[in-house]
Amino acid sequence: MIRIAAVGDVHMDEDVVGRFRPALDELPDCADVLLLAGDLTRHGSESEARCVAREFGNLGVPVISVLGNHEHQCDEVPQVVKVLEDVGITVLEGNGIVLECAGGRLGVAGAKGFGGGFAGRCASDFGEPEMKAFVQTTKDSADALGRALRGLECDVLVALTHYSPVPDTLAGEPLEIYPFLGCYQLGQAIDSAPTALALHGHAHHGSERGTTPGGVRVRNVAHPVIKQAYSIFHLGDHLDRG
């Protein structure tokens, strides 16, 4: 069995440092890894990234993250990534990592993802260059996630994004903004590989559970949705039975 802790949208700054720490200190006893589903900061500044590093660095379990849209606000993405990597946090964008856990090999592929909307109600690659650029961003991100997922050799495969791959976990958000919260192409990418679980954030008013058309379980782990420091998922029971 592999034990995965996950949370997204912690939106750290000085005023939040220390709030998660008591719960995080329990992680080595209850999880093999912590996955962060983006929107780690408020504006994506280097100083906010240092707050993330203080709170989520040196936890005693590996920490793997994707970035969210908030990490792009200040245009300091490389600095943010460096601050996180300096404390050992792995930042994924269109790539993956395999961890040797006590219960088996856990593969995590990650990408921020993008909006675009869901089947039948989505943006199309047509018209103004701005619209085409929007949809191209959606496609590129989903393609990168799909490639990363299919490229991992592991026992349990997890997809980590910021934007949602399904509309199910957006329930609670206004329908009108669904196209800014996720896209079906991410779901398609997840379904193109033997993914066991897909985790995302971004939809603060959304709901916890959903499933891709291919049957992969999806969980929205945005902090305002789970209302606890992190959620824990147990996967890969079959590995224990040999």
Taking the CA atoms of 59, 62, 68 and 71 in sequence, report the sign of the dihedral they define.
Answer: positive
Query: Of the listed pieces 93-101, 102-110, 146-154, 228-236, which binds other proteins according to CB under 8 A?
Result: 228-236
Long-range contacts of 216-221 (CB under 8 A, 24+ apart): 216/159, 216/190, 216/191, 218/164, 218/165, 218/166, 218/168, 218/169, 218/187, 218/190, 219/6, 219/169, 220/8, 220/164, 220/169, 220/170, 221/6, 221/7, 221/8, 221/35, 221/37
Contact set for Fe ion, span 197-236 (CB under 5 A): 202
Contact set for other proteins, span 186-215 (CB under 8 A): 196-197, 204-205
Among 5, 10, 56, 68, binds Fe ion (CB under 5 A): 68
> Considering the rule CB under 8 A, would residue 119 count as an interface residue with other proteins?
no
Among 10, 49, 106, 152, binds other proteins (CB under 8 A): 10
x-marked contacts with Fe ion along 1-40 as a string, rule CB under 5 A:
--------x-----------------------------x-
User: What does the binding site for other proteins look like in residue numbers (CB under 8 A)?
Assistant: 3, 9-12, 15-16, 19-20, 22-23, 26, 30, 42-43, 70, 73, 196-197, 204-205, 217, 219, 223-224, 226-235, 237
